Amino acid sequence: MSVEHGIHTIDTAFQRDHFDAAYLIVQDGRGAFVDCGTSHSLPNLLASVAQAGLQPADIDWLILTHVHLDHAGGAGALMQQLPNARLVVHPRGAQHMIDPARLIAGATAVYGQAEIARSYGQILPVPAERVVVAEDGHRVWLAGRALECIDTPGHARHHHCIWDEASRSWFTGDAFGLSYRELDSAAGAFIVPTSSPVQFEPEAMHASIERLMARRPEAMYLTHYGRVVDTARLAAELHEQIDAMVVIARRCDGLPQRHTVLVEALAGLYVARLRHLGSSLDENEVRRVLGMDIELNAQGLECWLDRDKR
């Protein structure tokens, strides 16, 4: 677990190591979590509190970037362990935290009950009186340290990013893509947009990235995975890839094997971009690291194509 500016990066152990991060921000003996992984993540989250020299009662906030289960599935279980914390969530996500039945039903329809139990564990409600609805620009205070919630659609309409002026950094959830350390090269981090079913909106994603960059951030704290710098280069890369993904999706639309062709085309795009950065990883290794994300990006693009037709 690394620490910068009182920011502890926690591996939630979702799916594999160094895939899914939560963050603990510590300021003058008080703490705030940003995202929390699943209920299986609780041992790592609570261990991070102890390692930071805090008690669960010292945690004032659990701030969610959005309510997808790899970010928020463990919120109800974690809040049971944090007696003084309040949960901060986008207006479109608040009801899903208070009553997660629709989240559970939707995920179960896609993955099946056994996989939900294996990957996410129990998904528990958060009492309504402990939920703070964060409109665009809402600030919470952590021992005098301001954390500002900014509406950032594109990946999901219930997404916001959190600006930390103290570190001049964003906690980006999935709005600023994903970047795994296995894909780093001499040129630096490699980044990929994440479309994800079912609310991908390319123009909104472009606008959200620009809104983040307007603050001239020194770093981005990604859920997938960790702290990245060189933010201007990475933003330009995201813009180019979003456009390339849209072109690929439109070319694949109407083909009889649309999904299969789309998956292969996306894999080819990411391998080519890595080669351009000078990566020495072979194609099989790239596909191993990005396999789940390529599949989700293909699904997200298909949802966008079909919604666009309607």
Domain CATH number, residue 177:
3.60.15.10
**Residue in 231, 250, 243 with CA at minimum distance from that of residue 203:** 243
Model pLDDT, residue 309: 73
**Rounded Cα–Cα distance for residues 105 and 303 (Å):** 18
Are both 24 and 141 inside the same structural domain?
A: yes
Band of pLDDT at residue 282, cut at 50, 70 and 90: confident
Averaged confidence pLDDT in the chain: 94
Are both 190 and 41 inside the same structural domain?
A: yes
| The pLDDT of residue 121 is above 90 | no
Mean pLDDT calculated for residue range 215-235: 97
Are both 148 and 266 inside the same structural domain?
A: no
Are both 241 and 220 inside the same structural domain?
A: no
Are both 240 and 151 inside the same structural domain?
A: no
Q: Write out the E strands in the chain.
A: 3-4, 7-11, 21-27, 30-34, 59-63, 86-89, 131-133, 138-142, 145-151, 160-164, 169-173, 219-222, 226-228
Are both 75 and 221 inside the same structural domain?
A: yes
Band of pLDDT at residue 111, cut at 50, 70 and 90: confident
**85 in Cβ contact with 130 (< 8 Å):** yes
Model pLDDT, residue 198: 84
Q: How many residues does the chain have?
A: 310
pLDDT digits (tens, 9 = 90+) for 75-108: 999 999 999 999 999 999 999 999 999 888 877 8
Q: How many domains does the chain have?
A: 2
Percent of the chain having pLDDT more than 70? 99
**Rounded Cα–Cα distance for residues 217 and 234 (Å):** 12
Band of pLDDT at residue 1, cut at 50, 70 and 90: very low
Are both 243 and 224 inside the same structural domain?
A: no
| The pLDDT of residue 43 is above 70 | yes
Torsion angle of alpha carbons 85, 90, 94, 100, nearest 10°?
Answer: -100
> At which residue do the structure tokens 């000078």 appear?
278
Last residue of a domain, one of 178, 208, 230: 230
Last residue of a domain, one of 230, 257, 279: 230
Model pLDDT, residue 113: 83
Mean pLDDT calculated for residue range 58-78: 96
Are both 107 and 197 inside the same structural domain?
A: yes
Are both 132 and 271 inside the same structural domain?
A: no
Are both 205 and 262 inside the same structural domain?
A: no
The boundaries of the domain holding residue 297 are: 236-309
Are both 136 and 210 inside the same structural domain?
A: yes
Model pLDDT, residue 2: 56
Mean pLDDT calculated for residue range 276-305: 92
Torsion angle of alpha carbons 107, 104, 91, 171, nearest 10°?
Answer: -60
Last residue of a domain, one of 201, 230, 259: 230
The continuous run of DSSP H or E covering 279 comes out as: none
Tell me, what DSSP letter sits at residue 188? B
Are both 209 and 267 inside the same structural domain?
A: no
